[in-house]
Structure 1
């Protein structure tokens, strides 16, 4: 299957957008690559791709939080 086909299957199973599913798994539940991929029933490579695409990796989240803080402090 292609990425878009997997995306459709995941969204249909969870009745949510892929972004919301990935947010719950990566941010709310703090699952690592192996656990997240196993929970969704997909390959680790696909899970990593989606996590990176939606910027839910721990380092990406930290960077975004810092960048947003800098932007907010400049505007005040």
Structure 2
């Protein structure tokens, strides 16, 4: 039985490029799993899986890395967006119980959550709950806009029809 190093040298020689590139091509570009990938390279499945793990190309690793990149991008967007915003500024409609007062407080809550997300230690999983809160608040603002433009009823009716069709298809 060959060693990992011998398999690696054999594969790199046959393909004429570094193992990392070969693995990326097979897994990311051609969507091969451990069985088809190991067969393609002529190596044991266990060796292929070790290489896949080493280069962070396994399905869970790729999702985690993707989430981390997305989190970094989102936090950078927050930094740009909040650069010139004073989150402590007075509320214009504080004394009102109106839709515009509600919109203002929700928009300000989004700002506060975004600033808070920039202050916590970086770990993508720490940011998940905050991003869910921010997304939920942003959806509320979107719904308010649709309501003010008399479009929310249409959105509701569309969603209700879609739900009914889905339920009919499942029964």
State TM-score, norm by structure 1.
Answer: 0.92
Q: Secondary structure at the match of 1:30?
A: coil
Which sections of structure 2, spanning at least 5 residues, go unmatched? 78-171
What does residue range 43-62 of structure 1 map to in structure 2 within 5 Å? Answer: 43-62=44-63
What does residue range 11-26 of structure 1 map to in structure 2 within 5 Å? Answer: 11-26=12-27
Q: Secondary structure at the match of 2:5?
A: helix
Shift of 1:14: 0.1
Q: Matched residues in 2 for 1:3 and 1:57: separation? A: 18
Q: Runs in 1 of length 4+ with deviation above 6 angstroms? A: none
Which sections of structure 1, spanning at least 5 residues, go unmatched? none
* Larger CA Rg, structure 1 vs 2: 2
Shift of 1:57: 1.1
Give the length in aligned residue pairs: 76
Q: Matched residues in 1 for 2:67 and 2:49: separation? A: 22
- Map of 2:147 onto structure 1: none
Shift of 1:31: 0.9
State TM-score, norm by structure 2.
Answer: 0.43
- Map of 1:32 onto structure 2: 33
Higher RCO structure (Cα 8 Å, ≥6 apart)? 1
**Which deviates more from structure 2 when the two are superposed, residues 52-61 or residues 14-23?**
52-61
Q: Matched residues in 2 for 1:33 and 1:7: separation? A: 16
